[in-house]
Amino acid sequence: MEIITYPDRRQWSSIIERPRLDISQLNDTVSKVLNDVRLNGDEAVKAYEQKFDKVSLASLSVTETEINDACELVSDELKSAINLAHDNIYKFHKAQVFEQRKIETVPGVTCWQKSVAIERVGLYIPGGTAPLFSTVLMLAVPAKIAGCNEIVLCTPPDKSGNVHPAILYAARTAGVSKIFKIGGVQAIAAMAYGTESVPKVFKIFGPGNQYVMAAKQQVSIHDTAIDMPAGPSEVCVIADESACPSFIAADLLSQAEHGADSQVLLITTSQNIIDNVQTELEKQLQMLARRDIASKALDNSKLVLVKSIDDAVALSNAYAPEHLIIQTSDSNEVAERIINAGSVFIGKYACESAGDYASGTNHTLPTHGHATAYSGVNLDSFCRKITFQHLTVQGIQNIGTAVELMAEAESLDAHKNAMTIRLSSITE
């Protein structure tokens, strides 16, 4: 990891820079797969499953029998853990339900919003070396609470044509409607365009590799909405002398093991913390099964020594991390000053893993600095807000002249006339 000591603010732009991948060539590949699935449906999807996932599929759908059999393979202990996480995620997102209010802006003009669920949503769940059954809960639970009529899930099968049992158990627990054995770009295409088996969805959620992310961005231009732009996962830790180096190292490594293109950042006011965290990183890294991946991620990462917590907060807000962990003596006060972050973890016991799995907050979060403008997935992600207004005679009398004047000033005569003829009808 690169160590940066007391950087001038003019250096911050280089400190907060993320690793950049050349995706110019993969975009062409992605476009070809998307177009093939759009034109040829299930046939193309099965061909790509054979090519990329090395599996020959007679059917893309996961049957009820397959789900039942898979659920039997999940240990009681893991089922209990998934159920606990489900309940906490449900409680947190249920509390986000929109409360409708009618507002009379002037006498005779009443305005309000109604929250309406997206009718059909698609969830993409990676299944490779790290089958993310936790993401099933993070996406399907709020979709169910929102009232989405159909929740479609795509996830890659193994070479035997089976889906990871924990993914299927989580899907059943969370109320997923339909499950398909499809991975990668072809999964995004199937949900975006629809095939003989897979229904077209109106919004696609979920993480994935650079090909999946490129596919989501391409289909979002014309065909379907997506949750957010996304890049490699990341964490930032703000720490002072009171922090626990072993905790910090564990948090940095938990993020680094996501992928070689992940990034972790420590911002601290203490040289001792940097020294001790380095020692802990070397020690803990050797115990990880995914240490090669984590080690490559650390090459993209930085340890930054700053003069004050004020500088640490400012640098973190400039970085706008996906995950932010605050280990300081006044962590609650520091947290109040955070304006750019996906999810914030306060205090030394609040590890990122808690939010990833079972605290209740959502782990589908903006990356690559997008936390300056985007929220993480929440209940509203699965809803639309429709506005309503009701006007009486008194209402158009109160705002009619203003509408006429504004329409005339914008040279929109038909707009003006729509109000004028109504006002005239009152006096006739």
Which residues are tagged catalytic? 322-323
Q: Which stretch of DSSP H or E encloses residue 169?
A: helix 165-174
Which residues, including other chains, have CB under 8 Å from residue 273's CB and lie 6 or more apart?
239, 240, 241, 243, 245, 248, 266
Sign of CA dihedral 33, 37, 38, 43: positive
What gap in Å lies between CA 343 and CA 268, rounded to an integer? 19
What gap in Å lies between CA 292 and CA 296, rounded to an integer? 6
Residue 30 · residue 164 · CB < 8 Å: no
Residue by residue, DSSP assigns 44-99 as HHHHHHHHHS----S-SBPPHHHHHHHHHHS-HHHHHHHHHHHHHHHHHHHTT---
What gap in Å lies between CA 418 and CA 396, rounded to an integer? 11
Which residue in 386, 328, 373, 271 sits closest to 4, CA to CA?
Answer: 271
Furthest-apart CA atoms within the chain: distance in Å:
87
